[in-house]
Chain A
Amino acid sequence: MYNRRPAYGYGLVTDGGLRWLLWALLVLLSGCAGNSAVKPGATPPDLGARLVILVSDDSPAFTNIADAIQRRVRSPAEVHVLNSDARRTRGALQAIQRSPRSTVVAVGLPAALAARGLTGKDMVFCQVFNYEAHNLISPSMKGVSAVPPVVEQFRTWKSVDPTLRRVGVILGGGLTSLVAEARQAAKLNNLDLAVVTVRSDRELLYAYKRLNSRIDGLWLVPDNRVLSTSVIQELMSSSIRQGKRVLVFTPELIRFGATLSVDTDPDDIAARVLGRLATARGGRIAGPPVLSLGVLHAQINPAVAKAVGLSSERLRREIQ
């Protein structure tokens, strides 16, 4: 099942509105997350009253999640926005620690890192990509994935670009779970995956140039350690010049030449966060360290699709 996201209105796809269309695909991944599937509205009615939401900053990527959680609880949750303010962070943590509210949702890495110091609370983090490098997983702290399941990303990518055979991903070290998931997903989607580990954005760029001849497409993951704005832009322009397809993590990069973007759904994340908290018992949260997402938003760049040999007819049929 797909849902359109009319809120997206980028120039590349809306300009003229006749030649190129913005296709927003909402893929509901029913059953993809196995036993972690949580449906909206299944949250216990009293969860909001004991819930504290610790938000890293007031960027939409985080506040949308907080808002979605608030919409799903009856009683308003206690919300703290840290905004990189150490004093506020200390105050918030002290307040949370003293608060009778026993469950904490940390949105974003700074919030998760701050919440890690709390005791006696059941905590779930979300919107954290590199949770492994920061050792966020503990019995009382679990997470919800920041990216859609890799297998679904590849499946979507493959569905719109069946000729895709060889893909590469360049990322920083320590993301072993993601790499393992990616290898499994590639195999399932009949893709050859090349994984390159780098330590800096400049090295990533160099690695990409070396990798370029061996791949059909690049899977760009949001590893902030090895990406910079300039390198992202150079990667995108280089990919266009080289005719490479690029799967990106945000539709914002579609206009820079990405072929396809896959994004998360705040409501999906909120539902899964609350679902995980619902399973908390005595300081322990059941389930895997990080719960996969069940919904992804996919958006394809028609211009790029055409350039790489994808016809609108085919694209439309795949979507339909």
Chain B
Amino acid sequence: MLFRIKAIAKKEIKQLLRDKRMMFVLFFFPVFLLVIFGYAVNYDVQNVRLAVLDNDKTSLSREFVNGISSSSYFKIVETYNRNQRTKEILDNGIAKGVLIIPKYFSREIYKAKETVKIQFLLDGVDGNSALIIQNYSNAAVQTFNKKLLSEAYAKAGIKNNYPVDLVPRYWFNPNLETTVYLIPGLIALILIVTVVITVSLSLVREKERGTIEQINVSSLTEIELIIGKLIPYVIISFLSSAMVLAASFVLFSVVVKGSYLLLFFTIFLFLIASTALGIFISVVSDSQQVAFSIATFASMLPATILSGFIFPIESMPVIIQISTNITPARYFIVALRDIIIKGVGLSAFWEQWVYLLIFAFFFLAASTIINKKKILEA
């Protein structure tokens, strides 16, 4: 049996090596994507462009504006005087936010009757950034308030310290770098797309060309065929993953905190699950074009959107959460994050391994059943 598997594997490898463009894509582009990804992708919002309409123009209002501009949160790109300009600024995207200080700002503060309201108008199109900018606005105002209060108390001779100070600590990722969180998802995306597409196409191509008939009449069993065909892709996938991890280390200082052995097995299980999906697609497709379309929509889009890669699964409605089970990347990413970012052991994510195996069995079984049905029909 091993002999026949080796024969198929060697044939696949030879075919693959002959295809220089594929080799290029399979090896170079994962790292290329990582680079783009790592540098471009960033939820950290800094230097938010802000425009200021100061209707008060007193030393206190100027102090407030200065406080905001000196923080790294905001960058004041324009100060203006006509209220009509506000709409122009936001519509044209000249600034992401506008700060409007009311006319009697200073006077009202010293009157000490009620809280004084100022307006922050934000470009809400990008909800996530707007949320963060909202937090910044709150934080900036509170810093100012704190200063106001302590100065006022000091002048009045009362000792009144700010009662509660928050001391935040960020575990696993002290600098809150977004890159490290996205790396497992990136690996998942690259692997699943590569494996699902190449496996489904490779099998469908043989079906189209009719060479599958030749294989059917040989003494090769289905399992041997599948394993033999997969071996080159599995090897390449491992190499791809290794390269992505190495590049992440070199460029972004991402270190695998957990066990490499667990990492290896997790990737291996994921490859099996993806392969099962690829086989299923090849069974239900009659042509390469169909196989490719299904493979793309079934692998790339769910892996990007439903897997927890970018958008957290916890925030999704329950129905959608259930549907995230159509992509094995979902389980893979959880396990990978646990290993790479948190450095915890198998006890934390063993369920993901089980899910991956169940996924693989389900699709392999489905493929076998449908395949037999099709052969009977033909």
Asked if chains A and B come from one complex, the reply is no
Where the two chains meet, the residues of A that have a C-beta atom closer than 8 Å to any C-beta of B are: none
Which residues of B are interface residues toward A (Cβ below 8 A)?
none
